[in-house]
Amino acid sequence: MSCGHCNFSLKPTYQQASNLVQQQPIRCDQCSSNLLLDEADRQVLDHKFKSGARIGKLAVMIMGPYFLLGLATSIHVISVGSSPFPGFPAVLVGVGFALAYVLKTAATDDAEYDFALFRNGERPDETQAPDH
């Protein structure tokens, strides 16, 4: 993100980004302006937050039961002393890594997006010099 008034590059915390989605201003470290996103950028950031939350819930719903299944299977294999087929533990680990990779890929947003922040969420007039 960058300040639309002084072009300072901002690296907001999760809380600051959440504040921007909720239309609460954050302060520029360089020029001390109170900054907001314009509405289109706010909607994009809100969509990113919601997508991340959905992927997080999906990861818990998939990986939680998979972990418990793997744990129960491991305990069973240890107590019985044999696995269903040779290499079974490696298959469990491989499937776990594959699931983690799929979830990580789904959670990663490859689109580059530069959010510009402005006072009151409005872009300054292009003919005027930015005020500090």
Average pLDDT for the chain: 82
**CA–CA dist 132, 122 (Å, integer):** 15
The predicted-structure confidence for 55-114, as pLDDT tens digits, reads as follows 888 888 989 999 998 888 888 888 887 777 888 878 888 999 999 898 888 877 766 677
For residue 48, give both structure tokens. Answer: 């990113």
Return the domain boundaries, the chain: 2-121
The predicted-structure confidence for 9-59, as pLDDT tens digits, reads as follows 888 888 998 999 999 999 888 888 888 888 888 898 898 888 888 888 888
Strand order in the sheet with 26-27: 2-3, 116-118, 34-37, 26-27
